[in-house]
Amino acid sequence: MFSLNLDSREPIYEQLYSNVVKLVALGVLKPDEQLPTVRALAKDVGVNPNTVAKVYQMLERDNITYSVIGKGSFISPSASPEALKLSSAAQLINEALGKALEIGVTKDDINRIVKEYLEEEGGTL
């Protein structure tokens, strides 16, 4: 269910966090569904349990999960797939726009690129 790229420059904890967010956004993980225990997930993906614990803390901080003492971590009913999709998309777009501006692409060129892309995909801006 969770996949990691150990050769990636992205830290493992960020990859795990992104995996959970993606699975919630796609509706694979449903509200109130229990996540694997920290130890079970750590063993399953081959990482230190402290890494998984950090991810679970981040998910709870961001209201994607909630924990029940003695029972584990669960997907929060307030973690709407639509909101997570939009949040993830905004983060990716912001990163791409920032990099484009850093290399000297103008705002007009960015607007043109986005408009062309959306027109090709059948959407409009």
As a whole number of angstroms, the distance between CA 6 and CA 54 comes to 18
Domain range annotation of the chain: 12-75, 81-120
- CA-nearest of 23, 56, 18 to 37 is 56
CATH fold for the domain made of 12-75: Arc Repressor Mutant, subunit A (1.10.10)
Query: Does the global pTM surpass 0.85?
Result: no
The DSSP call for residue 105 is: -
- Give the pLDDT confidence score for residue 124 in this predicted structure: 59
pLDDT of the residue at 76: 93
More confident residue, 18 or 81: 18
Question: pLDDT of 16-64, one tens digit each?
Answer: 999 999 899 888 999 999 999 999 999 999 999 999 999 999 999 989 9
Which residues neighbour 46 within 8 Å (Cβ) at sequence distance 6 or greater?
Answer: 4
Count CA atoms within 13 Å of residue 41 on its CB side. 25
